[in-house]
A and B are shown apart, each in its own frame.
Chain A
Amino acid sequence: MNDGARDPRARTMSARRARALGLALLAALGVLGAGLLALAARAGAPVWPAGAFAALAVVALALSARRPSPAAARPLAFGAESAILAELRRGDLVRAAAASRGEGLPAELAAAVAGATAALARVADEVREANVATASTADGVARITADLASGSAELSASVVEITAAMEELARTAAEIAGRAATQAELAARAEGRGVTGASALADAVSGVAEVKARIGAIAARTDALGARTKEIGRVLDLIEEIAQETHVLSLNAAIEAAAAGEGGRRIAVVAEEVRHLASRSRDSVASVRALLDEFAGAIRGTVVATEEGSKETERVLERARRAAAAIGDLREVASETAERARRISGATREQNVASDEVVATLRDVGRVVQRASQALEGLDGTAARIERQVLSLELLTQGLRRDSPRSLKHLSEEWAAQLRDLPHQELQRELDRLFAASPSLDCAYFVDAKGYTLALSARRPVAGPGLPSEAEVLGRDLSGRPWFTAAARSGRACLTSPYASVLGGRVCWSVAVPIAGPDGALAGVLGLDVEAHGWTRT
């Protein structure tokens, strides 16, 4: 181009058009920057991209405010200018940059436009990167929130369960305490009765011992009586012997008196009297001896009876002592039982108090968990809002086609160029190859001009409950889908709003690009789907 060859009218026109271009760029940047700023403010994303836009706006303002000078006044190709503006309006930075390099645009303006579009593309890339990071963070927050909510629900259920168990425990403890108190009372009563019984038994033992002592005294006296009886017997023996001797003497006297004849008659009478006396003495001794024998028999019976009585009292005493020992043991056991029951009762009451405290604490914990759950619900809502906003920002950045593998519009254009001239039988293989190299995509498809699917590649199985199979999708007319109509109408790569995919029913958004045939008519549409919950995948 030769600036000096142009006439002043042409230069004036060029300057006016440059100002108009600057104003248009300024307006476009202003719209984009305001959108980004608003999204950044809502999503909490950094606001520096807005600053970059401001810098670009300054460049645009300089362009528009530039005064016309002879050196700068260049004729401007009207077609190129309108092409740049049109591409910028459509958000196609690649084609805008290409148009700026075309014929008819001053070198400075071309460089400025190229620099501005490159800067805008970088800003968009960086915004997208930041947006991905924000989305990942929001996703992490959502997952953590979901985990916390799940844990909180489990914790709440556990708290309710533990509270119920503790209340049951408290009721059981109260019951145990009551029973232990009753047992303690019974044991104390048994102990009291044991004391009474032991005292009564001790009295009985004492009485039996007294009886035994008295029986012993009776036995001793009976022995003494027996000894005296033997002495009496010996005296009786002596008396009887004397009586016998007297009897013999009286007989001898009678014999002598008989020998003396008449002179001994009186002696014979005396001797006979003496013999009678001796005989009566013997009879009396016999009577006394008989009585004494009876007496001795009675004494022997008494001795035997006292011995048996003494043995019996000894047996009774022994049994009573054993009973006293048993009662003593029983008392000790009853006392120990009462003490243990009292301890159990006390411990159970303390346990009851502790259980009540635990139940109260658990109720507090339950309320805290409930508040935490409510807070988590709020956090979950916030995370969902952030996810929606970062998705909006992603759609905004994807609206700009830029020379980057992250730009789906650019990617679809490149794929379309590769698939455009392939025979139908090779379409599927090539689409699979391209799809395999792009993990960020969830589905890619190629449909003919009537909307019938020619090739389909999907990240996940297509069919599901109530959803069409892959074969059904391949045979279906998809010309009514939003991506098809948008691509067919615009004639270039276009971006849809999120919608429910026919492939699995999941929410996704698409970039579709029309493919023109050799005659320029619509030959097909290439569509790329990204699921709303998977777009951050790289």
Chain B
Amino acid sequence: MDLSQSTPALGRSHLLVRAGEQVCALPVAAVRRVVRALSVHPLPGARPELAGLAEFAGEALAVLDLSRLLGAPLGPHPAFPVTVVVWAGPLERREAVGLAADEALEVVLIDDAAVVPGAGFLRGDAMVGARLVRVLDLERLGEDA
């Protein structure tokens, strides 16, 4: 497996996570850390996809519910839910954001050419093996929000 981000022939590395019944692919370059699901403090009046605030490395971290964000239907009860700490937003003003997912699966290479383009922070859909994977563009995550 070639994990290099700059290998156009083989594609770029993505972290696959499960959110409900859907599997999302997060670009590894924007992923800071995968941790066990952080304890979230809900924010009154916040949007539904904003699960709340959590503490990570001594700082407050906004945690988004990936399933709600994608509008994915609920899947099996998560045995080991995780929080994926990513850099969201344009490169120059990116922010650390937590994405609450049901399970962290693996790191795979996805060829850009294989991605069927989407809209907004949903870059598109791609087939990884036999699975349909929704590829996210974390740089555009703040735009919709």
CB distance from B85 to the nearest CB of A (A): 10
* Selected contact of A259 from candidates B29, B35, B82, B106, CB within 8 Å: B29
A244 touches B80 (CB 8 A): yes
Q: Give the chain A neighbours of B34 by CB distance below 8 A.
A: 248, 251-252, 255
Q: Number of B residues contacting the other chain (C-beta, 8 Å)?
A: 22
* Given A258-B13, A262-B4, A265-B4: A248 in contact with B29 (beta carbons within 8 A): no
Residue from B4, B6, B82, B107 whose CB has the most chain A CB atoms within 10 Å: B107
B36 touches A248 (CB 8 A): yes
Instruction: Give, as a whole number of angstroms, the nearest-CB distance from B134 to chain A.
Output: 18
Verify A248–B3 contact, CB threshold 8 A.
no
Q: Which of A230-273 contact B (CB under 8 A)?
A: 240-241, 244-245, 247-248, 251-252, 254-255, 257-259, 261-262, 264-265, 268-269, 271-272
Q: Which A residues are CB-close (under 8 A) to B4?
A: 258, 261-262, 265
User: Cβ of A272: which chain B residues have Cβ within 8 Å of it?
Assistant: 1, 107
Distance A322 CA – B4 CA, assembled complex (angstroms) = 85
- A248 / chain B contacts, CB cutoff of 8 Å: 34-36, 80, 82, 104
**Which residues 266-317 of A have a CB within 8 angstroms of B?**
268-269, 271-272, 275
Is B33 an interface residue when CB atoms closer than 8 A count as contact?
A: yes
Residues of A within 8 A of B6 (CB): 261
Proximity string of chain B (1-16) to chain A, C-beta cutoff 8 Å, 1 when within and 0 when not: 1111110000001010
Contact yes or no, A251 B107, CB < 8 A: yes
Closest to B28 in A: A258
> Inside 8 A of A269's CB, which chain B residues have their CB?
1
Q: Closest residue of chain A to B26, judged by CB?
A: A255
The complex places the Cα of A272 from the Cα of B15 at a distance, in Å, of: 12
Determine whether the beta carbon of B36 is less than 8 Å from that of A245.
yes
**Contact between B3 and A254 (Cβ–Cβ < 8 Å)?**
yes
B135 to chain A, nearest CB (A): 16
Cβ-defined contact, A255 with B1, below 8 A? no
CB-based contact A255/B107 at 8 Å: yes
Interface of A is mostly: helix
Across the A-B interface, give the 10 residue pairs with the lowest CB-CB distance, nearest first.
A244-B80, A254-B107, A258-B28, A268-B3, A258-B13, A258-B3, A251-B34, A255-B31, A248-B34, A255-B28
Closest to A243 in B: B80
Partner-B contacts on A (CB < 8 A): 240-241, 244-245, 247-248, 251-252, 254-255, 257-259, 261-262, 264-265, 268-269, 271-272, 275
In the bound complex, how far is the Cα of B36 from the Cα of A240, in angstroms? 13
Residues of B contacting A271 in the complex (Cβ-Cβ under 8 angstroms): 107
Nearest opposing residue in chain A for B33, CB measure: A252
Check B33 against A255 for contact (C-beta < 8 Å). Answer: yes
B136 CB to closest chain A CB (Å) equals: 15
Given the interface contacts A248-B36, A261-B4, A265-B4, does A255 sit within 8 Å of B106 by beta carbon? no
Q: Which residues of B are found within 8 Å of A247, using beta-carbon distances?
A: 80, 104
**Residue ID in chain A nearest B6 by CB atoms:** A261
For A269, give the chain B residue with the smallest CB separation: B1
- Docked Cα-Cα span, A531 to B69, in Å, equals 163
Cα distance, A264 to B82, chains bound together (Å):
24
The complex places the Cα of A254 from the Cα of B34 at a distance, in Å, of 11
Chain B residues lying within 8 Å of A251, measured Cβ to Cβ, are 15, 34, 104, 106-107
Residues of B within 8 A of A257 (CB): 3
Contact B3 A264, beta carbon cutoff 8 Å: yes
Give the shortest distance, in Å, between A250 (CB) and chain B (any CB): 9
B51-68 CB mask vs A (1 if < 8 Å, else 0) is: 000000000000000000
Chain A nearest CB from B7 CB (Å) reads 10
Which residues of the other chain, A, contact B28 by a CB distance below 8 angstroms? 254-255, 258-259
A272's nearest neighbour on chain B, judged by CB, is B1
Q: Please name 17 further chain A to chain B contacts, defined as beta carbons within 8 Å, in addition to the given A255-B31, A258-B107, A261-B4, sorted by A numbering.
A: A240-B80, A245-B36, A248-B34, A248-B104, A251-B15, A251-B107, A252-B34, A254-B28, A255-B15, A255-B32, A255-B33, A257-B3, A259-B28, A265-B3, A271-B107, A272-B107, A275-B106
A245 to B35, CA, bound (A): 9
Q: Which residues of B contact A268 (CB under 8 A)?
A: 1, 3, 107
Which residue in chain A gives the minimum CB-CB distance to B5?
A258
The CA-CA distance from A429 to B13 in the complex, in Å, is 183
* Bound form: Cα–Cα A257–B4 in Å: 9
How many whole Å from A391's CB to the nearest CB in chain B? 148
Q: How far is the CA of A268 from the CA of B4 in the complex (A)?
A: 10
Q: Distance in Å from the Cβ of B77 to the closest Cβ of chain A?
A: 14
Q: How far is the CB of B112 from chain A (nearest CB, A)?
A: 16
Q: In the complex, what's the smallest C-beta–C-beta distance from A286 to chain B, in angstroms?
A: 9
> Is B33 a contact partner of A258 (Cβ separation < 8 A)?
no
A258: B residues at CB distance < 8 A: 3-5, 13, 28-29, 107
Closest to B109 in A: A258
- CB contacts (< 8 Å) of B80 on chain A: these are 240-241, 244, 247-248
- Which chain A residues lie closer than 8 Å to B104 at the CB level? 247-248, 251
Once bound together, how far apart are the Cα atoms of A264 and B80, in whole Å? 27
The residue on B at minimum CB distance from A279 is B106
Rounded to whole angstroms, the CA-CA distance of A245 and B34 in the bound complex is 10
Closest residue of chain A to B36, judged by CB? Answer: A248
